[in-house]
Amino acid sequence: AQTVTQSQPEMSVQEAETVTLSCTYDTSESDYYLFWYKQPPSRQMILVIRQEAYKQQNATENRFSVNFQKAAKSFSLKISDSQLGDAAMYFCAYRGDTLIQGAQKLVFGQGTRLTINP
């Protein structure tokens, strides 16, 4: 079974600085997909970034980038130029087994609560 571990329950960073959130996972698959979701106090889970395991290039979306280390099974999220609106719970997720008819299970880490200090 696949597992996802986020070892940092809470992190804080000064506004405009850079912060890195850690995520490790365990799988025996060679092709898989990893995600970072953000859940602000408004509650909605918002997709931040997606990485395909067969791609060596790290995914980037504006101020958000990942450091994907396949051999180490590590998938960290870097947020540059942190903004107050980045404050949220961040979940790392692994797209796992097919449940039924193409629908696939998301395995979530326990989450990291990020605080931005003005």
The residue ranges that bind other proteins (CB under 8 A) are 33, 35, 37, 42-47, 50, 52, 89, 91, 95, 98-106, 108-111, 113
* Closest to other proteins by CB, 46 or 84: 46
* Closest to other proteins by CB, 9 or 14: 9
CA 16-17-21 angle, 5° bins:
125
Provide, rounded to whole angstroms, the least separation between the CB of residue 27 and other proteins: 16
User: Whose CA is closest to 76, among 2, 3, 8, 17?
Assistant: 8
Provide, rounded to whole angstroms, the least separation between the CB of residue 29 and other proteins: 13
DSSP state of 42: T
Provide, rounded to whole angstroms, the least separation between the CB of residue 16 and other proteins: 27
* Closest to other proteins by CB, 16 or 99: 99
Dihedral sign from CA coordinates of 36, 73, 71, 28: negative
Residues contacting residue 57 through CB under 8 Å, at least 6 positions apart: none
Provide, rounded to whole angstroms, the least separation between the CB of residue 9 and other proteins: 9
Note the Cα 16 to chain centre separation in Å.
Answer: 20
